[in-house]
Amino acid sequence: MSARLIDSLATTPALADVFSDDAVLRAMLEFESKLALAQARLKIIPRTAARTIAACAMPSKFDIPALAAATFRAGTPAIPLVKALTSLVRKADAEAARFVHWGATSQDVADTAMSLLLKNAEPILVADLVRLEKALVSLSNRHKDTVMLGRTLLQAAPPITFGLKAAGWLVPIHHGKHRLESAFRDAVVLQFGGASGTLASLGKAGAAVAKELGREFGLKTSAAWHTRRDNLATLICACGVLTASLGKMARDISLLMQNEVGEAAEPGNDGRGGSSTMPNKRNPTACALTLAAAHRLPGLVASFLSAMVQEHERGVGGWHAEWPIITSVVQSTGVAIASMAEVAEGLSVDTKKIRANIKSTNGLIFAERATMMLGAKLGRDVAYEILEAAARESVSSGKNLATVLSGIPEVTAHLSRAELKQLEIPNQYLGSAEAFRKVLLAESATKN
């Protein structure tokens, strides 16, 4: 893993490699090499010059720390890169050095390099999303009959099933996957426009060179998009929405892992979930990484959107701000996806604790059910007042709600002993939980 310690909680080993210094350098040099080869095929520059440029555009020939230091002075990594490449080519063939970076501008190098990095990042994200979706479908099916407390405003509410809860996590993640794939398709585009986006330095051959270069890279081509950043912005926003959806799942699971709740737990192995001081602890580590990513992304998304307001044909400061934002957003999204895939694949569900938590409410979660049953006889408003008083008595006395209700004449006049006995059976008050779970699973199986 090539991530620095300071970045180690904000990326995965695979994504750290995608956005490593070596990978960035390789992508920029690939632009220069393939530009020369494409122009040679179109007889714009000599073939011998193109071969020499390609031979010199090897990452091992470049000093990354020196390039980074020079970038700080130049304002873009392309300027010192092209200067260093030209020097290498000149040593090999002075005539070939004339054709390095022929007709391109520094932003062409930077934007195309980023497109190549994003192209490499996409399959990593998608593979983990496929894992996550598959695991959530399995989790939902396994627990379709596991009745648990519903929770509203962090308080106990009428029961749901764990299967419905898992399906509820699944659908926004499924939607997010398709938004992400669509956004990648639109954002991963060749940038080649020259100084003002017209490729005027190449005369009438500019469009042909762009087409040939796009073919060489396997990238879509368009007119220069130096200050049109909407496609990249859509990708950044798609990452933000997806990571927030993952954060919702992580928040739920971390709350279910609290000792006082204890209904679910992340897999704990290979150093996951431990404490530096308390050996008894099983912390929600993967959820914490996901929530950290979800906290980071809104600010990064906002920063990218603010950087879209760029001047005329080439902006000052806007596109210069993007590289750190894009790399952080994509890696944060990736670490959230990978973390929740690991959680979903190994999540343990404690059905005994789930039943105990339902029982601990003394039937108060069925007050709505009793209100509807009694309301059919007395009207909802009257029934609500009776149940409100009964709930207070249940809390103060510690008696089950059904027991309290059995001592209220207005209730027993309309509800039989058998009806009151059935009141607190959890799986008899699930409504359309299973039907809705199936709706969500069907929705997650469709392709947008």
Question: pLDDT per residue over 326-379, tens digit each?
Answer: 999 999 999 999 999 999 999 999 999 999 999 999 999 999 999 999 999 999
Please tell me which residue in 275, 306, 397, 432 is annotated as part of the active site. Answer: 275
Give pLDDT, residue 436: 98
The answer to whether the Cα torsion of 321, 324, 325, 330 is positive or negative is positive
CATH number of the domain located at residue range(s) 106-189+225-352 in this protein: 1.20.200.10
At 251, the pLDDT band (50, 70, 90 cuts) reads very high
CATH number of the domain located at residue range(s) 364-423 in this protein: 1.10.40.30
CA atoms of 245 and 251, how far apart (whole Å): 10
8 Å CB contact between 170 and 140: yes
Task: Look at residue 261 and tell me whether its pLDDT is greater than 90.
Answer: yes
Give pLDDT, residue 281: 53
Domain(s) of CATH 1.10.40.30: residues in the chain: 364-423
Give pLDDT, residue 276: 41
Using DSSP's 3-state secondary structure scheme, residue 147 falls into strand
Q: Token pair of 291, please?
A: 């929530």
At 203, the pLDDT band (50, 70, 90 cuts) reads very high
8 Å CB contact between 86 and 42: no
Q: How many CB atoms lie within 10 A of CB 216?
A: 16
Instruction: Please choose, from the candidates 111, 128, 323, 342, the residue with its C-alpha nearest in 3D space to the C-alpha of residue 236.
Output: 323
Question: pLDDT per residue over 421-436, tens digit each?
Answer: 999 999 999 999 999 9
Which H/E stretch holds residue 421? Answer: helix 417-422
User: What is the residue-averaged pLDDT of the chain?
Assistant: 95
Give pLDDT, residue 391: 97
Please tell me which residue in 229, 314, 369, 437 is annotated as part of the active site. Answer: 314
DSSP one-letter string for 182-236: HHHHHH-B----TTTSS-GGGGGGHHHHHHHHHHHHT-B--S--TT--HHHHHHH
At 447, the pLDDT band (50, 70, 90 cuts) reads confident
Task: Look at residue 278 and tell me whether its pLDDT is greater than 50.
Answer: no
**Can you tell me the mean pLDDT for 78-87?**
98
Give pLDDT, residue 271: 55
**Can you tell me the mean pLDDT for 91-97?**
97
> Is 314 assigned a catalytic role?
yes
The CA distances from residue 13 to 2, 17, 113, 291, in Å, are: 7, 6, 20, 19
8 Å CB contact between 286 and 272: yes
pTM of the entire structure? Answer: 0.94
DSSP one-letter string for 82-137: HHHHHHHHHHH-TTGGGGTTTT--HHHHHHHHHHHHHHHHHHHHHHHHHHHHHHHH
Question: pLDDT per residue over 138-168, tens digit each?
Answer: 999 999 999 999 999 999 999 999 999 999 9
> Is 275 assigned a catalytic role?
yes
Query: What residue type is 3 in one-letter code?
Result: A
Domain(s) of CATH 1.20.200.10: residues in the chain: 106-189+225-352
Task: Look at residue 3 and tell me whether its pLDDT is greater than 70.
Answer: no
